Amino acid sequence: MDRILSADSTPIACHRRGEGPPLVLVGGALGTAAADASLAALLAPRFTVVTYDRRGRGASGSGGAVGVAGVRREIEDLAAVVTAAGPGASVFGMSSGGALALEAAAAGLPVELLAVYEPPYTPGASGLLLKARASDRLHRLLAAGDRAGAVELFLTATGVDPATVDRMRRAPLWPGLEALAPTLAYDDAVLGDGAVPVERFAAVTARTLVVCGGFSSARSRAATRTLAEALPRARHRTLTGQTHEVAPQVLAPVLADFFARDVYVRQAS
């Protein structure tokens, strides 16, 4: 494990594996670099894969900023990781990590190839109302110290089936999720009001692959199509039979094909 310093001197823990073109994985809510290990291992034969503990998670520092300032800090963290990964690094973001990757690209992160899986935007009048109510309740639960309630709320609000949440509450992983509950404020902030920020994302110049699961909720699938339409150089892909909890062995070949083919085209041009 390596530690690098972000712009505000917060230490960010990184893990590097494999050989080949550099590829940074940005985890979603309630995850650390360990959660990306399976996907990273599948990609490592073709890429130098860098995973990292996002701010406030795992072995990384917290920094303490929330809201818009917290989003800026997380963009700086990702920029530091991309720089450390090496020239020409590509980026993949999972769920809210995808929203973070897109915000960084819109802010000028020098990345030419970007892929995201189901950033949990909630466009449309009903979706924006849902996000506003969920955000208000999330911050009240965190202020009251109800970490279990905050985790359950965030999971269901971002498309995880309630039955799946019930199974998770009984699983050994649940205490670890509760420990990470305060970082949900960061993920809530990076999603803004829930709308796809069309004007801001018009500045994203990276070739972008937007992926969703064929068995994901209708709202999630519609949001990814809205996102793909908003990005200047995007294409959309649906993975048959997958949900928001996508299987790494299904996702990895899709990412490898996208990044490897586009790297080849870029180098040949």
Residue range 125-138: mean pLDDT, rounded: 95
pLDDT category at 113 given cuts 50, 70, 90 is: very high
Secondary structure string (H, E, C) spanning the chain: CEEEECCCCCEEEEEEECCCCEEEEECCCCCCHHHHHHHHHHHCCCCEEEEECCCCCCCCCCCCCCHHHHHHHHHHHHHHHHHHHCCCCEEEEECHHHHHHHHHHHCCCCCCEEEEECCCCCCCHHHHHHHHHHHHHHHHHHHCCCHHHHHHHHHHHCCCCHHHHHHHHCCCCHHHHHHCHHHHHHHHHHCCCCCCCHHHHCCCCCEEEEEEECCCCHHHHHHHHHHHHHCCCEEEEEECCCCCCCCHHHHHHHHHHHHHHHHHHHHHC
Q: What is the pLDDT of residue 125?
A: 95
pLDDT in tens, 183-240: 999 999 999 999 999 999 999 999 999 999 999 989 999 999 999 999 999 999 999 9
pLDDT category at 268 given cuts 50, 70, 90 is: very low
Asked if pLDDT for residue 259 goes beyond 70, the answer is: yes
pLDDT in tens, 29-80: 999 999 999 999 999 999 999 999 999 999 999 877 778 899 999 999 999 9
| pTM of the model as a whole | 0.94
Higher pLDDT, 208 or 261: 208
As a whole number, the mean pLDDT across the chain is 93
Asked if pLDDT for residue 6 goes beyond 90, the answer is: yes
Q: What is the pLDDT of residue 269?
A: 45
Higher pLDDT, 179 or 269: 179
Q: What is the pLDDT of residue 262?
A: 55
Q: What is the pLDDT of residue 236?
A: 98
Q: What is the pLDDT of residue 164?
A: 86
Among 57-61, 71-75, 160-164, 165-169, the range scoring the smallest mean pLDDT is 160-164
